Amino acid sequence: MPKKVCNWDPQRTPGHWNFYGGDLEGGIEHLDYLQDLGINGLHFCPIFESPSNHKYDTVDYYRIDPHFGDGKIFKHLVEEAHKRGMKVMLDAVFNHIGIASKYWQDVIQKGENSLYKDWFRIYSYPVWQDYDHMEKRFEQLNYDTFGYEPRVPKWNTANPEVKRYLLDIASYWIENYDIDAWRMDVSDEIDHQFWRAFRQKVTAIKPDFYTVGEVWHNAQAWLNGDEYHAAMNYNLVESIKQYFLTGEIDTAELIHQVIAQQMKYRRQVTEAMLNLLDSHDTPRILTLAKGNKDFVKAALTFLFVQAGSLCLYYGTEVGLEGGEDPDNRRAMAWELDQVDSGMKDFVKQLIHLRRTCLPQIFGDFHLTEEDNEILALEVGVDGQRLLARFNQTGQVLFLPQVGETLLSQKREGEYIGYGGFEVSFIKAPI
């Protein structure tokens, strides 16, 4: 979220309408920080022209919002990211558009005579505009919107003209700015034929292009090889949060839920899914854990040994907190007195482990409950195994060491404390 990256007002408590001054130049200045952390991909929430701070009410998809910079600066950001081995993913808000766009304004002004009236799903004229009495929208709204929000009318993607327009936008940012991925906002509300055409369009330009849909439920219908490459894996990570952060489920239930989630998708799909514990749409994990950093580290470790693409929400690595939107969108903490250096070092170590060790041994996956409700996750191939064991039982447990310890928490001799874990590498016998 560029408004929260850097070059901002130091205020830390966000509101629904506040602006913080963050921009793309500030992002460029901190690419070395991200590279040092081990990051190899960046996801930007919407950066196109919009009157709001969240930018999900687009005015012009072809223009970078002036709050952030311009096309020249963004192109420089992409080039600098690529030099550091980082891919760049933008947010495709193709389900709806903002009321300030020229297309919706034409509908407001001309009604049924508008050239763009069929670009939306409108049931009567004039279109509803009683924004001073928002409570009336549930009965009076006469066009389709996202979430009954009248300021973001939905596109009619079944209209060939709309389809061409949106596909041109998708290709424009690849061809002119060399982006590497699109994250598709509210993608499950857009018809399948559009996403099939979208996949064909973007991969024809860049064969290794990555597309990920925002789907909060079972996404299998979009993951058959001709639409998205992946979806945001909210079902999996919700189980992880309920086990490690809030204690709502026990070890047996976590295993059941994780295995059930894996059975929904082909292995190739699981390996591409976007796994993230928190985001701009959810409370931050340190807040969910009520400030317990041991629980956060255990949850992150469990996530990092799962197959899939990992996504770390900005600020998680320095202990940033936040509740529901907009509190979860606080400005990034750069000042030394606000940074948890211990958490940052841990996340850096975890990323290093993921990038150097795990890719070589991802293969068979086993999730089991050992004695005393210890959670054990084992992955391996060709006799090389990685074993991660977690203690969320509420007590100190006897846990003999196995193999070479790569990462651990709350380990004392042969015992491991509550909220502790150990990740070990077990070599194949010669």
Q: Which residues are catalytic?
A: 185, 214
154 DSSP β-pair partners: 96
409 DSSP β-pair partners: 421
Three-class SS of residue 408? strand
385 DSSP β-pair partners: 380, 426
Sequence-ordered alpha helix ranges (H) in 263-336 = 267-270, 285-288, 293-304
Q: What is the DSSP letter of 258?
A: H
The contacts of residue 135 (CB under 8 Å, 6+ apart) are: none
Yes or no: say if 71 and 181 are a contact pair by the CB < 8 Å rule. no
CA 50 to CA 61: how far, in whole Å? 9
Three-class SS of residue 180? coil
CA 319 to CA 378: how far, in whole Å? 28
Q: What is the DSSP letter of 326?
A: T
Please give the structure tokens belonging to residue 297. Answer: 């580290």
Q: What is the DSSP letter of 43?
A: E
Residue position matching structure tokens 């950093």: 293
